[in-house]
């Protein structure tokens, strides 16, 4: 399976977010604040010309993360029929490499409970207790120091 990972615009990731993260909810719920900011990056996994996975990276501080230039990872998703093929892991690696090239030192994310092991397997650490995001469900805060 030959994939290309590349930077794309916000519009290119909406369909994947909708199908995987907001299924059954309005497409408008897939738009994130700062999607179109010049400091935001969207990376897509492209297979045969179609985006099948995505991740968004937004410069954002968090009161529990002591780095004023940290980035939040959001909207990490791979279409269901392509899950289990290490596409998510590769998206994460591309995201981390891209941020490292921009001298970003810390990446953090709000992780759904079912995805904790994925992030732990990729050297992310949990910070604090479980919390609820309304209309989405229980999450934990995780972060990783980038080289």
Q: Which two tokens stand for residue 47?
A: 């297979």
pLDDT value of position 46: 98
Q: Would you state the CATH architecture of domain 3-145?
A: 3-Layer(aba) Sandwich (3.40)
Domains of the chain: which residue ranges? 3-145
pLDDT tens digits for 30-88?
A: 999 999 999 999 999 999 999 999 999 999 999 999 999 999 999 999 999 999 999 99
Which band of pLDDT confidence, cut at 50, 70 and 90, is reported for residue 19?
A: very high
**Taking the model in full, what pTM does it have?**
0.94
């Amino acid at each position: 399976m030959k994939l290309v990972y590349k930077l794309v615009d916000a519009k290119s990731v909406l369909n994947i977010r909708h199908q995987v993260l907001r299924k059954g909810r309005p497409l408008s719920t897939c738009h994130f604040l700062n999607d179109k900011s010049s400091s935001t990056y969207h990376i897509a996994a492209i297979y045969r010309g179609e985006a099948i996975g995505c991740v968004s990276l937004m410069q954002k501080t968090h009161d529990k993360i002591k780095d004023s230039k940290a980035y939040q990872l959001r909207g990490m998703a791979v279409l269901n029929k392509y899950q289990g093929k290490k596409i998510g892991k590769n998206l994460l690696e591309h995201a981390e490499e891209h941020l490292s090239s921009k001298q970003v030192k810390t990446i953090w994310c709000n992780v759904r409970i079912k995805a904790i092991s994925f992030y732990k397997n990729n050297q992310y650490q949990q910070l604090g207790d479980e919390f609820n995001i309304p209309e989405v469900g229980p999450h934990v805060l995780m972060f990783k120091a980038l080289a």
